[in-house]
């Protein structure tokens, strides 16, 4: 008769989840969150829920919320081991979505899931989220870090963001004021932002591209990982100064898929493609993938990250305000009567 071997005691750490590392990360993130704090924050990191007070700030507030991720741009960040700016993308995709309705971003939460928690890398990622929150004026009040062995490979991770803002009901931008004769202003993008990377990666693979190769004087890796531009502060300044009739954040679906979302029935946006030039990265992608122009416009922003609709009489003043806040607006189209909600000039 033989003695049965005593099984090795299991623990959460042996199973692949390091609770101590998670606790250490929370402590490391507290200074990052502290830099983003703003009036209204009552309690942030460490509690079961973050607390935020609207008291005294609004007369008739409407809460506006948005959630998004970064998509397969993460795969490039992982492959290149460049994680410092990807958190800016996360904030941008959420904050830019809610500002188009006139909302001031108030607070932001993130969800960070990985196969194995690398504290140093996680700090870099969440420090980027903190910088994005500062650019958007939102407080980083909390989030969730999940270590999920078996769900993700060790170096893989995913991000999701959640932003809540507020706007006075009387100042809500919902597209209802859009009328024929309005002018559409375009705000340039900083590159691909966070959309179309599955197609971009397919082009990179087809071209067998070396991402150290330069395009227009910059390495491809730098161009592809340039963070999404955050338009919040410039657009809030514009909103405070005059009546914006509508805004559209140009994300997945491009101009044809996003501008119509804010155009009332019976009207259409007429966009002049000659009013701006594509940044070189978009031509590089188009040529490398033999991509049809319509497919480019449906997949990428093609150089326009935000569309702003204003009364024609306000167009000059709007451009001046936006320039004063670091943007380079240009007239890209008009609102006309007609069917289809969208047309090229």
Give the orientation angle of helix 119-136 with respect to helix 86-99, to 10 degrees. Answer: 30
pLDDT in tens, the chain (345 residues): 455 677 888 887 888 888 888 888 888 888 899 999 999 999 767 778 889 999 988 999 999 999 999 999 999 999 999 999 999 999 999 999 999 999 999 999 999 999 999 999 999 999 999 999 999 999 999 889 999 999 998 889 999 999 999 999 999 999 999 999 999 999 999 999 999 999 999 999 999 999 999 999 999 999 999 999 999 999 999 999 999 999 999 999 999 999 999 999 999 999 999 999 999 999 999 999 999 999 999 999 999 999 999 999 999 999 999 999 999 999 999 999 988 889 999
Give the orientation angle of helix 73-80 with respect to helix 86-99, to 10 degrees. Answer: 160
Q: What is the DSSP letter of 103?
A: P
The tally of domains found in the chain comes to 2
Identify the CA nearest to 85 among candidates 9, 175, 164, 193.
193
- Residue 5 and residue 7: Cα distance in Å, rounded? 6
**Domain annotation covers residue 209:** yes
Same-domain status, 167 and 125: yes
Query: Which of 127, 145, 171 finishes a domain?
Result: 171
Cβ burial, residue 10 (10 Å; 0-12/13-18/19+): exposed
User: What pLDDT does residue 177 have?
Assistant: 96
Same-domain status, 202 and 306: yes
**Domain annotation covers residue 11:** no
User: What pLDDT does residue 332 have?
Assistant: 98
Kindly report whether the global pTM for this prediction surpasses the value 0.85.
Answer: yes
Same-domain status, 206 and 294: yes
Domain around 38: 19-46+59-171
- CB contact at 8 A, 50 and 109: yes
User: What pLDDT does residue 44 have?
Assistant: 67
- Residue 273 and residue 296: Cα distance in Å, rounded? 13
Identify the CA nearest to 79 among candidates 156, 187, 151.
156
Identify the CA nearest to 230 among candidates 129, 300, 132.
132
User: What pLDDT does residue 339 have?
Assistant: 82
User: What pLDDT does residue 4 have?
Assistant: 62
Domain with residue 165: its CATH number is 3.30.1330.10
Strand, coil or helix: 189: coil
Same-domain status, 213 and 268: yes
User: What pLDDT does residue 3 have?
Assistant: 56
**Hey, which residues does 144 pair with through a beta bridge?**
111
Neighbours of 3 (CB within 10 A): 5
**Hey, which residues does 342 pair with through a beta bridge?**
269
- CB contact at 8 A, 60 and 169: yes
Beta strands 104-114; 139-147: pairing state:
parallel
Domain with residue 198: its CATH number is 3.90.650.10
Same-domain status, 209 and 317: yes
User: What pLDDT does residue 48 have?
Assistant: 85
Q: What is the DSSP letter of 16?
A: T
Name the one residue in this structure whose structure tokens are 């500002």: 99
């Amino acid at each position: 008769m033989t003695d049965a071997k005593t099984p090795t005691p299991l623990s959460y750490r042996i199973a692949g989840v390091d609770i101590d590392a998670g606790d250490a990360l929370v402590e490391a993130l507290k200074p990052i969150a502290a830099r983003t704090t703003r009036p209204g924050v009552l309690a942030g990191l460490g509690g079961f829920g973050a607390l935020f007070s609207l008291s005294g700030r609004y007369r008739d507030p409407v809460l506006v919320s948005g959630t998004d991720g970064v998509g397969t741009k993460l795969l490039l960040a992982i492959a290149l081991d460049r994680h410092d700016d990807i958190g800016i993308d996360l904030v941008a995709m959420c904050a830019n979505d809610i500002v188009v309705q006139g909302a001031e971003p108030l607070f932001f939460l993130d969800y960070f899931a990985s196969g194995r928690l690398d504290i140093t890398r996680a700090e870099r990622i969440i420090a980027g989220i903190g910088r994005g929150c500062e650019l958007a004026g939102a407080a980083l009040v909390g989030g969730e870090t999940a270590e999920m062995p078996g769900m993700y490979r060790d170096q893989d991770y995913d991000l999701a963001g959640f932003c809540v803002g507020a706007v006075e009901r009387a100042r809500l931008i919902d597209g209802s004021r859009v009328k024929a004769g309005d002018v559409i202003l375009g705000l340039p993008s900083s590159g691909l932002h966070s959309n179309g990377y599955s197609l971009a990666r397919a082009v990179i693979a087809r071209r067998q591209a070396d991402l150290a190769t330069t395009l227009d004087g910059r390495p491809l890796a730098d161009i592809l990982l340039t963070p999404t531009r955050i338009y919040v502060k410039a657009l809030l300044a514009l909103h405070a100064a005059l009546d914006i009739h509508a805004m559209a954040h140009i994300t997945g679906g491009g101009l044809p898929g996003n501008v119509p979302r804010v155009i009332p029935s019976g009207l259409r946006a007429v966009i002049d493609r000659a009013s701006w030039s594509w940044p070189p990265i978009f031509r590089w992608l188009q040529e490398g993938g033999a991509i049809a122009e319509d497919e480019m416009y449906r997949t990428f922003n093609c150089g326009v990250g935000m569309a702003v609709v204003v009364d024609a009489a306000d167009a000059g003043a709007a451009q001046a305000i936006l320039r004063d806040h670091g943007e380079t607006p240009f007239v890209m189209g008009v609102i006309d009567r007609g069917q289809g909600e969208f047309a090229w000039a």
